[in-house]
Amino acid sequence: MLNYFLPECILGNSFFALLTAFILCFFSMPFFIRLMHALKQSQPIRDDGPQTHLKKQGTPTMGGLVILLSIILSVLLFAPLSNGFIWILMGVTIVMGCLGFYDDYLKLKSHSSKGITGRQRLFAEFVTGTLAVVAAIYLTPSDLSTAVRVPYLTNVFIQLGLFYVAFAAVVFTGTTNAVNLTDGLDGLVSLPLIIAFFCFGLFGFISGCPHLSDSFNLPYLQNVGAVSIFASACIGALAAFLCYNKKPAKIFMGDVGALGLGAALGMIAIVTRQEILLAVIGALFVIEALSDMIQVGSYKYRHKRVFLMAPIHHHFEKMGWSEVKVVRTFWAFAFIMGLIGLASLL
């Protein structure tokens, strides 16, 4: 019988999951784009945003639905379904994808950029994250189940005990929202997500192999290596989507994709015990979220704006940067932060 947990099997299945997700998403997306055009379902454009965005009116949205379906089908085909971590990752992706789908539906129905309320979204994300974290704790070795690894330091962990559940749930919720906020320009969020999934997929693969984890001073986490198959499927689907989402975008991801993928990224960092490193590799997402929080807080309490517009990618557009310049600059930053994150293996 094939042992799915051997490193060579995980690498092979990761490749096939990536390839399958790419093919499914790449060849399905044109049909979905035509369907959305036929249904006349397009992304509502904020009238207070950069004027250059007004010409995007009529571009279909909810492309994330094809992304998530491609990922799930690929994972079901190539991942070991006896692995609890795989089901946790698929679970949060599907649940948050459904939340995003409902949010997109409300926006399309009302022809506005307003969907579910922020409080409703945060509540759903926190509850989902808490349940997923508890499940991950159950599957993790007891000595590491509530520990947070400090990157760049050899075998340094902080034991949080019961507080770990709240900490990890906040990480999950924050990542989910941060990715959603970053998805605001053509192609902006896709490449940083690809970089992040590659990094955490690599961490998962190394941590799941006793010899490799010891060589790279990572904690050995039995069966967690299979998460690299899930991460590879995400990379394949996102690479295919980018072909249609790069400027000028033929389709937008929508909340169904941004929330689903953000949840997947947050949870994969949690199950690989790289929560702190997520702030490094996902620094772009952190900055985008912080800029929005600072803007809202400043306007609420000081009645003054810190940025010309938030999230911060719109601030640079208001400064006169072209959309392509903003996207490429942010991509370069995400790439550099990914390399800094991987440097923790040295």
Report if residue 222 sits inside a domain. Answer: yes
Arithmetic mean of pLDDT, 24-37: 96
The distance between the two most distant Cα atoms of the chain, rounded to a whole number of Å, is: 66
Token representation of residue 169: 């749930």
pLDDT at 1: 37
Token representation of residue 46: 């904020």
The domain tally of the chain equals: 1
pLDDT at 322: 94
Question: In this predicted model, what pLDDT tens digit does every residue of 270-317 receive, in sequence order?
Answer: 999 999 999 999 999 999 999 999 999 998 889 899 999 999 999 999
Report if residue 308 sits inside a domain. Answer: no
Report if residue 33 sits inside a domain. Answer: yes
Give CA torsion, residues 221, 227, 228, 229, to 10 deg. 140
Instruction: Give percent above pLDDT 70 in the chain.
Output: 94
Report if residue 20 sits inside a domain. Answer: yes
Q: What range does the domain containing 55 cover? A: 7-282
User: What span, in angstroms and rounded, lies between the C-alpha atoms of 250 and 62?
Assistant: 12
Q: Which residue has the tokens 């609420």?
A: 300
Report if residue 211 sits inside a domain. Answer: yes
The 3-state DSSP class for residue 157 equals strand
Report if residue 37 sits inside a domain. Answer: yes
Question: In this predicted model, what pLDDT tens digit does every residue of 39-48 receive, in sequence order?
Answer: 877 766 665 5
pLDDT at 110: 82
Arithmetic mean of pLDDT, 68-89: 97
Report if residue 307 sits inside a domain. Answer: no
Confidence bin at 147 (pLDDT 50/70/90): very high
The 3-state DSSP class for residue 60 equals strand
pLDDT at 44: 67
pLDDT at 118: 87
Between 163 and 5, residue with greater pLDDT: 163
pLDDT at 5: 56
Question: In this predicted model, what pLDDT tens digit does every residue of 82-126 receive, in sequence order?
Answer: 999 999 999 999 999 999 999 999 988 887 777 888 899 999 999
Report if residue 305 sits inside a domain. Answer: no
Model confidence at 52: pLDDT above 80? no
The helix, strand and coil proportions of the chain, stated in percent and rounded to the nearest 5, come to: 70, 0, 25
Contacting residues for 89 by C-beta, under 8 A, at least 6 apart? 75, 227, 230, 264, 267, 268, 271
Cα 123 to chain centroid, rounded: 19
